[in-house]
Amino acid sequence: MQSDVTISLRAVVERDIPFLESLRRTTMRQVIENHYPWSDAAQRERVLSHLEYARIISCEGSDIGLLKVVSSDTEIHLSQVQILPAYQGRGIGRRLIRKILEEAASSKLPITLHVLRSNRAISLYRALGFVVSKEDEHFLFMQWTPKQEDLKQ
Residue type, 49: S
Q: How far apart are CA 70 and CA 80, in angstroms?
A: 10
Residue 114: strand pairing partners: 141
pLDDT at 153: 46
- Residue 115 sits at φ, ψ, to 5 deg, of -140, 140
The reported pLDDT for the residue numbered 150 is: 52
Q: What is the pLDDT of residues 120-138, one digit of tens each?
A: 999 999 999 999 999 999 9
Q: For each of the chain's 153 residues, which pLDDT tens digit applies?
A: 455 789 999 999 999 999 999 999 999 999 999 999 999 999 999 999 999 999 999 998 899 999 999 999 999 999 999 999 999 999 999 999 999 999 999 999 999 999 999 999 999 999 999 999 999 999 999 999 998 555 444
CB 111 within 8 A of CB 101: yes
16, 24, 50, 61 from 115: Cα distances, Å: 24, 14, 17, 29
Convert 42-75 to b/e letters by CB count within 10 Å (16 or more is b): ebeebbeeeeebbbbbebeeeebbbbbbbeeeee
Q: What are phi and psi of 149, to 5 degrees?
A: -65, -30
Q: What is the pTM of this model?
A: 0.91
Q: What is the pLDDT of residue 149?
A: 58
Count CA atoms closer than 13 A to 104's CA, side-chain side: 27
